[in-house]
Chain A
Amino acid sequence: MILNELLLPIFVVLITLILGAGVVDYLHHATSALGKQMSLRRSLNPLAPLYRLGLALSQQSVITEHPDRLNLRLAPALYFALAALGLAVVPWSADFIPADLVTGMVLWGAVEVLATVVIFLCGWSANAHLPLLGAYRYVSLGLSYMLVSMFVLIGVALPAESLQLSAVVESQREIWNVLRQPMGLPLFLIVGLGLTFWGPLDFASSPDLDRGISADQSGASRLVWQLARYAMLVAFSFMAATVFLGGWLGPWLPGPLWLVLKATLVLLILLWMGHNLPVMTPDKFISVAWVLLLPLSFVDLIWAGALALW
């Protein structure tokens, strides 16, 4: 009983995150190398993530001058733990849900916000100016898309009449939310970019700050942070696939496989955006977030509410 109820879910979540992080690393570098028209054989080498792992582990892990050691060490672990928490509420099939919380959606919201705290801590605790700047910039911008995330998620909970993710999946049996609320997924993807500070919303570790919060990480400590960030991408993809693409629902194939396929699709979209869209300037993003995204998410919510009443 304990095996099935406690160990199996933990095992599944951790394995998914770690394997998923490897897949993200592979896809990220492979698509980047293809975009740069590098040699095909080398850029598609399936062992490349292992080589990078080896490189990270054989480098020294540098410490900045007088950092806040506890938080510096803790932040990557916490970021990973948050990813695990977020993934835990995702249902894999009708009867396998690692943590079937009644308020799964609210928990995901909490994960998003706590991630902001953890990312800030990571940059702040290094006691160096570039990571600090990255952290501040991230927080001051991050708070502006959190609201969008809340409204979009409430919109998804409306047709399900529940905050439980298994109910949200059930509510998509006839029509997926991506069709029912056409604005939801694009808005949610933007939130995902912000949550993982990826691509156009990479404010925490942008190129102009010399990689911001990662600027003073090296070796193993950088590896752990990267792992956590990739894990968060994976968790987000699973969540997006669950709330907008019908989760494990689908014909012919078993449920979990459908879920993985849909999550991979979301992941590929995110990676594509990362390589092809320029990093926004903070100033422009603030205006876009408040003037465009927030009203759009209102419209999305009203749309969802009207449909639910009708």
Chain B
Amino acid sequence: MTLTMLLIVGAALIGTGLYGALSQQSFVMLMMGLELMLNGIMLYAVAFWALAGHGIPEGQLLTIIVMAVMAIEMAMGFALVVAVFRTSQADTTEALQDLKH
């Protein structure tokens, strides 16, 4: 378990997440892609903290903040989905043509 290996795993998670976020039509699946990317980022933060940062506490703090961001992202995401769904019954990105203009 070296830093390089950890970073490659994190990179794989971020890459997969990006693929999901870009390719999925449904809002919720899109958010899953974002979450997966954040997952990779957390792995990055912890890996650097443990193996390159001499265990400074700010490294862990960063991970906590990422977790909070995830919670916020999901809560706001779902609130928006509900709001959009109420007004236009859309649950896929394609159905939201109005936002283009």
Q: So, do A and B actually touch in the complex, CB under 8 Å?
A: no
